[in-house]
Amino acid sequence: MPRSRWLRPAALAALACAFLGWPWVTGTPFILNLLTGGVIWGLFALSYDLVLGWTGEISFGHALWFGSGVYATALFLQATHVDTFLGIAIAAILLTPLSLVAHLLSLRLRGAYFAMITFALAEFAHLLVENATSVTGGTNGLTSVPLSADALAPGTLYVLSALCLLAGLAAVLLVRRSRAGSVVRAVRDNPTRAALFGYSEVWVKALTLVAASFLAAVAGGLFLAYQGMAFTGALDSGTSFTVLLMAVIGGADSAWGAALAGILLYVLENSLSATTSHWGIFLGAVYIAVVRFLPGGFGALARRLRPGRRGRGKRQDAILAAGQAAAEQGGPER
């Protein structure tokens, strides 16, 4: 096997092992707890990458599926008392048909109208949860959730959350390079031409959004185990805008960039809030700096620094310049 073929998988495997074991090297419970929350939000941000980067749509209500994962898991655990991690998986699966129906209805609209209908659905769910006090606990939330002992152990929860993030990231990257990923990008870039080949824009985008909703619901279930209770803030519009910002900073079409941004921004926000009461000012300055000096996010930075990328960019610029010159002269002679 050529060296280049096994070197990258080996480097990725080493990075994954370091990612799973690094919190124990530090030996600090605070860092382990902080990173656990960051990894869960990294999974949530990864789910939004499927919305923004794969379908090209903007959702102002993606918190609907994160919050649904929180409450569906909590209610399922109260009803069955099964293992917490099994309950998270089952709750996310049970939410899949509901997300398919919601996305098929939402995709009848496009652009800003799609963003507003997703916002309206999330706000409706938020008000429903707040008013159904007999079931959801209302604004007080659900505090009596029967979590299993392994879910209460910080180390176990971190490992499982990290494995879910790594599995989700691997699945997204594999599908992206497959024929299905090519179809999704074709529908995103030119839905009219894709329709000529028999691909329905509504169904392709709906199935992609269902996958995004599933990942968000899993992240919501893990966050329930992390917080130990279900709370209405998981459905709040601020949650949707936060994950949208994470995906944009990570890169509109970069899976690993969105996951990394989710981890870093969660850790940064909680570290600053524990240090100073003016943490919002510093966090806002970080957002402005990233948008100003790194408009393409972490994904664009990685592509810019990739070996050989600069040379290919120069060749592409030369080809475009030659084509433009030919067009100004009336086209090439025949």
The per-residue pLDDT for 313 is 45
What are the helix and strand counts (H, E) for the chain?
17, 0
* Residues 61-70 pLDDT 10s: 999 999 999 9
Average pLDDT, the chain: 83
* Residues 19-35 pLDDT 10s: 666 666 665 778 888 88
First to last CA, the chain: 48
DSSP string, 15-50: HHHHHHHHHHHHT-HHHHHHHHHHHHHHHHHHHHHI
- φ/ψ region of 148 (left if φ > 0, alpha if ψ in -120 to 50, else beta) reads beta
Q: Which CATH code is given to the segment(s) 31-295?
A: 1.10.3470
Distances (CA, A) of 133 to 78, 79, 138, 232, 270: 15, 17, 4, 11, 30
Kindly tell me if the per-residue pLDDT of 331 is higher than 50: no
Lowest mean pLDDT among 39-43, 151-155, 173-177, 208-212: 151-155
Distances (CA, A) of 299 to 5, 212, 248, 256: 23, 19, 10, 8
User: What is d(CA 24, CA 132) in angstroms, rounded to the nearest whole number?
Assistant: 42
Kindly tell me if the per-residue pLDDT of 210 is higher than 80: yes
* Residues 217-231 pLDDT 10s: 999 999 999 998 898
- What is the b/e burial string over 5-36, where b = at least 16 CB atoms within 10 angstroms of the residue's CB? eeeeeeeeeeeeeebeeebeeeeeeeebbbbb
* Residues 285-305 pLDDT 10s: 877 887 787 777 777 676 666
User: What is d(CA 24, CA 155) in angstroms, rounded to the nearest whole number?
Assistant: 9
